[in-house]
Structure 1
Amino acid sequence: MAPAPAPSASSSSSSYSNSTTTGPSPVFKRRRVVEEDDTPKYSYDDLDDDQDQSKPAYIPLKQRRLMELEKLHQKTRGLPLGSTLSKAKQKQAEEEDEEEQDKDLGVQRSKQSLLDEARRLRELESQKEEKSQAEKDAEEERKILEAHAARRKLASDLELAKGINYTEPIKTSYRPPRFIRQRSEEENAKLREKNHIIVDGVNVPALITNFRDMKVPQCVIDYLKTKNIVKPSPIQMQGLPTAFSGRDMIGIAFTGSGKTLAFSLPIIMFSVEEEKKLPFVRGEGPVGMIVCPSRELARQTYESVKAIAEALVQGGYPQIGVLLCIGGISMAEQSHTMSKGFHIVVATPGRLQDMLEKKKFTLECCKYLCLDEADRMIDMGFEEDVRNIMNFFKQQRQTLLFSATMPKKIQDFAEQSLIQPVIVNVGRAGAASLDIIQEVEYVKQEAKMVYLLECLQKTAPPVIIFSDNKNEVDDIQEYLLLKGVEAVAIHGSKTQDEREYAIRSFKSGQKDVMVASGVASKGLDFNEIQHVINYTMPKEIEDYVHQIGRTGRSGKTGIATTFVNMNTNEQTLLDLKYLLMEAKQRVPPFLAAIEDPRMAAGGKLTSCPVCGGLGHGIKDCPKLEDNQRRATAGFSRGDDGGGGW
């Protein structure tokens, strides 16, 4: 009987399909039949001849590889087959072979040991981590600054709503002398470098080195000579021509450098010009405003403006009206000024805002606005007040911002709000005056009061003592009075009469010592202050700069003594250390021993964009923390009572 034909592939496939779907019959998988190759997989030339080749002995894989490697070396180096290599030569040959293979592959193998190589790799990893951490810190600081600086422009709501943008500065009638206008930029640059003035802006007006060439009236020049002001200071050399030209301006200069005259003289001359054109009548005015953060500073500025205005009257110029608008006084005292047209308002934000809301006067013809201590005015405690005041402007105005401490954050914000601003900088913003001898002493908290009497022996009076605690101010005054020292006290909780009495009696010389809180630290000008004592080191370094700036004014030398101890924040001490180094002052050993973590991590020494301190970045800024705390608590003004109420 003939054998059954083999099933085809298709039939096999269908059979497989049926078997898997119709019944439980077993499934057979087809497998490829591979014929065995009788040729041996390995040849063993080094085996003995008498060994049975059909049944080779088992040789481990490692040994077979060594045998093949040895044969390869014998072939490449011309050795006869069957010869053996010593272990040392075999190792050398292996290393040479690895080097040749690495060279063919373009790999450079390190000659170091594995431990050294591992150590090197760990160092590289740590450097990468440090670099990435530094990059993370920089990115975090950038985000914090952007979030903190994300503010509306300093403009009225009407201008913001209608999208009104002024592109050209205000035009004035002022023109400097011809020889000043014909001066080249190179000559101006040399003069600025000689006087340590740094300017930034478009079409910066030329610097002028004397009042006569600025076209200041002779009667004013004679009055300034009585105040021992013979020639303009650097901030006045550049600031006065800039303000006379109608340009918006940011003026930065150390304390006691004459900033008040730089912004008050232009507004006085503009007012005289307007009065000459057409005399003001009741209900008209003002031409310009000067806004100050504290009542004492506003009164001081008011008295300075009034004195120059009276000197102009004596020189044959028309009389101009100056209104003082601060909290704590009755506006009935100013009724005689308001009963006729007035030209200049010197005010604190709170009272000024109240007067504008009650429509006691308007800003319809106001074309000049100056913010003294502008970083404080724009800062979180006063920004909303300033914005509300801006809403009352009806036209374009010339805006000037002046301060001794103008952090980068405030500068950037101001540049966006001003029109083609000119930035005039005399020294680093936030730097201390070089005319002040700064002494820092470590004094325990319980020994401060006794040591204070010793410090008072350093110089003759008058002396100012600063403390950031109101109760401590009163305690110090009481202690000094018991010891027979003529002392007065001033802080934000005092009544306006008490504050004015303290200022008046101290300026006149009736009292030798004034104990004050931060209310007296900014802008106040006292005659012949020989010594400033910081009984408590301020938390923010810019407050320290302002406080010691009450001495060493107008080119005179003064001494500033600061008490520090374990209660002082280490970060503040680091700021103080860098400030002393910058001013080339003696750094005490306990301050010099404080290390900057940024320097240890390979960072660079940069100033904080929020407060200007050199010892920390924006992440650790105490001012930023304080501002956030105030915003959370809903405060609108600082603790010094300077908001006008």
Structure 2
Amino acid sequence: MTSENPTKRRRVQRSPSPPLYNLDDETDDYVPYVPVSQRRQEKLTKLSSLGGTTKGTRDKQREQEEIEDEAKEEERRKERARKERTLLMEAQDVHSRKAEEDSKKTVEQKTKEAEEEILEAIKSRKKLLSDLELAKGIQYTESLKTSWRPPKYIRDRTEQEHHHIREKHAILVEGEDIPPPIEHFVDMKIPNAILEYLRTNRITAPTPIQLQGIPTAFSGRDLIGIAFTGSGKTLAFCLPLIMLALEEETKVPFVRGEGPVGVILCPSRELANQTYENVLTWTSALAREGKYPQLNTLLCIGGISMSDQSHTMSKGLHIVVATPGRLIDMLEKKKFTFNNCKFLCMDEADRMIDLGFEDDVRNIMSFFKRQRQTLLFSATMPRKIQDFAQSSLIRPVLVNVGRAGAANLDVLQVIEYVKQEAKMVYLLECLQKTPPPVIIFSENKNEVDDIQEYLLLKGVEAVAIHGSKTQEERQYAIKSFKSGAKDVMVASGVASKGLDFNEIQHVIIFSMPKEIEDYVHQIGRTGRSGKTGIATTFVNMNTPEQTLLDLKYLLMEAGQKVPPFLTTVEDPRVSQGGMLKGCPVCGGLGHGISNCPKLEETQRRQMASHRPQDEGGY
């Protein structure tokens, strides 16, 4: 007898498979598919069999169905046509229509439309506002209030009398409720200590930009100031800040960690240092009288150690003069704040925005916590910068002495045609025209060094300054040149923006810059403060024809002699029947916005900044 194995598997019972339908089987559940057309026919047959259905009803229904079928067919036909039509064909149609419209327009209309498109793109840039103001949509509608008021006899003048004074000094103004012009420093209610200092330096009456600019700034108004080089713009924006800081210090003395009241931004270290020295001179003149407190001014530029100014940082700050990069660094490190800062001035404002500082300026704006008074000053401020600035300011007043971008009429401009290989030899002849000091400008850093080396070999005491020099080398060059230890300074464009050198009688432009604005700034190093000077410029076949045309029109505007080789340079806009108006981007008179070298350079820089850098490996 065998026993069952307990480990023996049991047979698994599977569930039965579902039955398959057999199309041959006749079951009650299966319903065969009937085509739509067959079902429609059966429905019609059924309707026709009904006694209540008349022949007319059937005809109407049939007609209705035919109409629906035709509509569906038409829709299918249109859909096929749409698929067959390509985007290229549509683009060709648009292009042909546009070409037909363009053929009816004149050259002048086409040029105007192209310029308007470019200007519209420029205007689309964000305003110069802080991040907080942009995020919250904060908009100020009223200017800052100040305690300053002009004397009563000036307030009592009629608008016609104000207009007559401005006309006499060739001052153009734009804006609403413009403060009156004042022809004497005493009537501006400036402290006697500063008045005495100005008199000792033979400054007895305000220049046109000061005559209208200082009262406007004293009134707390935002200001756009445009005047030729050497016209006294520095005093026009420094004096209002000094008076504002003096008033704040008199109310409640500043202690460590407080301030500044205002900041002055400059595009170059040299210009910032020069402005700082001017502010120190004027504030020291105030303090020497004994009636006014000492104002603390901080120089904030790259290339110098901020620890050298620790004595200033240890006290309350009133004024900061800075370049954008170092200022951002100090603000981010919280060395000081702009919590109570209510005055911002940008010297050479158009250069600040165009030289790639725009993002830095916006960054600086983000540190402001309150409304501020904004002043923008420059010798060359094209229309597009003016429009952009006005959109960012609060009820601004535009003060313009002469055309923006025009050359200083106190400078005699001499244009010489000199071959490239003969420039060095001819340079020595040009140096004999006037006694030193003389400035020589070149656009190329290597050429600056070559010129200095050549002059030193010829026994000429020369120094050089350009962007690749260290800060110590740049300071030594400027100091030795200003003191008279060196007779000639060879410089790149870095020395052309706002720097003031005493007794400069002659400027030599070794290589003509492409942008006419740079030329205006360079020749403006002479003929300052009412004095006269000479500017000699070398041009040859390497100079772009467009630059020569800008130069030709600038000479004609200033009433200067136009050399014969320049008179032969023809303006293509004349042959095309276009309007001869200046470029709104750079102010050049010899071209329009469509072929502006400044705009092309800006676009090139933007493309270069967005181009990925080749790191060369992993």
Is the TM-score greater than 0.5?
Answer: yes
Q: 1:304 aligns with which of 278, 289, 296?
A: 278
Residue 462 (structure 2) pairs with residue 480 (structure 1): no
| Cα distance in 1, alignment partners of residues 103 and 553 from structure 2 | 28
| Cα distance in 2, alignment partners of residues 428 and 356 from structure 1 | 37
Q: 1:256 aligns with which of 224, 230, 234?
A: 230
- Residue 527 of structure 1 aligns with which residue? 502
- Residue 617 of structure 1 aligns with which residue? 592
Contact 2:441 2:490 in 1 (8 A): yes
Shift in Å, 1:133: 2.8
- Residue 215 of structure 1 aligns with which residue? 189
| Cα distance in 2, alignment partners of residues 497 and 166 from structure 1 | 43
Residue 542 (structure 2) pairs with residue 539 (structure 1): no
Contact 2:107 2:578 in 1 (8 A): no
- Residue 464 of structure 2 aligns with which residue? 489
Q: Aligned letter for 1:548?
A: I
Q: How does 1:77-92 map to 2 (within 5 A)?
A: none
Shift in Å, 1:388: 0.1
Shift in Å, 1:379: 2.0
| Cα distance in 2, alignment partners of residues 324 and 348 from structure 1 | 9
Runs ≥4 residues deviating over 4 A: 128-131
Shift in Å, 1:414: 0.5
Shift in Å, 1:597: 0.9
Contact 2:415 2:536 in 1 (8 A): yes
Residue 165 (structure 2) pairs with residue 191 (structure 1): yes
Residue 569 (structure 2) pairs with residue 594 (structure 1): yes
| Cα distance in 2, alignment partners of residues 133 and 613 from structure 1 | 20
Q: Aligned letter for 2:212?
A: Q
Q: Equivalent residue of 2:260, what SS?
A: coil
Contact 1:130 1:601 in 2 (8 A): no
Shift in Å, 1:231: 0.7
Shift in Å, 1:135: 1.4
| Cα distance in 2, alignment partners of residues 251 and 145 from structure 1 | 22
Q: Aligned letter for 2:294?
A: Q
Can you list the C-alpha shifts for 1:327-384, whole angstroms capped at 9, x where unaligned? 0000101111011101000000000011111111100000000000000112250100
Distance 1:442 1:129, change over 3 A: farther
Shift in Å, 1:146: 1.1
Q: Equivalent residue of 1:594, what SS?
A: coil
Shift in Å, 1:542: 0.1
Identity of aligned residues (%): 74
Q: Aligned letter for 1:249?
A: L
TM-score by length of 2: 0.81
Contact 1:532 1:550 in 2 (8 A): yes
Q: How does 1:434-473 map to 2 (within 5 A)?
A: 434-473=409-448
Q: Aligned letter for 1:417?
A: S
Q: Aligned letter for 1:222?
A: E
- Residue 425 of structure 1 aligns with which residue? 400
Distance 1:496 1:337, change over 3 A: same
Contact 1:155 1:391 in 2 (8 A): yes
Shift in Å, 1:131: 4.9
Distance 1:380 1:298, change over 3 A: closer
- Residue 327 of structure 1 aligns with which residue? 302
| Structure with greater Cα Rg | 1
In structure 2, list runs of 5 or more residues that go unmatched: 1-101, 612-618
Shift in Å, 1:153: 1.0
Q: Equivalent residue of 1:379, what SS?
A: helix
- Residue 21 of structure 2 aligns with which residue? none
| Cα distance in 2, alignment partners of residues 324 and 130 from structure 1 | 60
Can you list the C-alpha shifts for 1:537-590, whole angstroms capped at 9, x where unaligned? 001000000000000000000000000000000000000000000000000111
Residue 378 (structure 2) pairs with residue 403 (structure 1): yes
Can you list the C-alpha shifts for 1:506-538, whole angstroms capped at 9, x where unaligned? 000000000000000010000000100000000
Distance 1:213 1:494, change over 3 A: same
Contact 2:276 2:297 in 1 (8 A): yes
| Cα distance in 2, alignment partners of residues 565 and 476 from structure 1 | 18
- Residue 244 of structure 2 aligns with which residue? 270
| Cα distance in 2, alignment partners of residues 342 and 380 from structure 1 | 29
- Residue 131 of structure 2 aligns with which residue? 157
Q: Equivalent residue of 1:148, what SS?
A: helix
Shift in Å, 1:226: 2.2
- Residue 238 of structure 1 aligns with which residue? 212
| Cα distance in 1, alignment partners of residues 535 and 104 from structure 2 | 40
Name the count of aligned residue pairs: 509
- Residue 283 of structure 1 aligns with which residue? 257
Q: Equivalent residue of 2:550, what SS?
A: helix
Residue 117 (structure 2) pairs with residue 148 (structure 1): no
Residue 351 (structure 2) pairs with residue 371 (structure 1): no
Q: Equivalent residue of 1:382, what SS?
A: helix
- Residue 292 of structure 2 aligns with which residue? 317
In structure 1, list runs of 5 or more residues that go unmatched: 1-127, 637-645
- Residue 156 of structure 2 aligns with which residue? 182
Shift in Å, 1:229: 1.1
Q: Aligned letter for 2:117?
A: K
| Cα distance in 2, alignment partners of residues 615 and 129 from structure 1 | 26
Contact 2:107 2:577 in 1 (8 A): no
Contact 2:107 2:576 in 1 (8 A): no
Can you list the C-alpha shifts for 1:165-189, whole angstroms capped at 9, x where unaligned? 0000000010110001111000000
Contact 2:408 2:527 in 1 (8 A): yes
| Cα distance in 1, alignment partners of residues 372 and 295 from structure 2 | 20
| Cα distance in 1, alignment partners of residues 104 and 224 from structure 2 | 39
TM-score by length of 1: 0.78
Q: How does 1:634-645 map to 2 (within 5 A)?
A: 634=609
- Aligned Cα RMSD in Å? 1.2
Tell me which moved more, 244-253 or 332-341: 332-341
Q: 1:166 aligns with which of 100, 116, 140?
A: 140
Q: Equivalent residue of 2:106, what SS?
A: helix
Contact 2:266 2:323 in 1 (8 A): yes
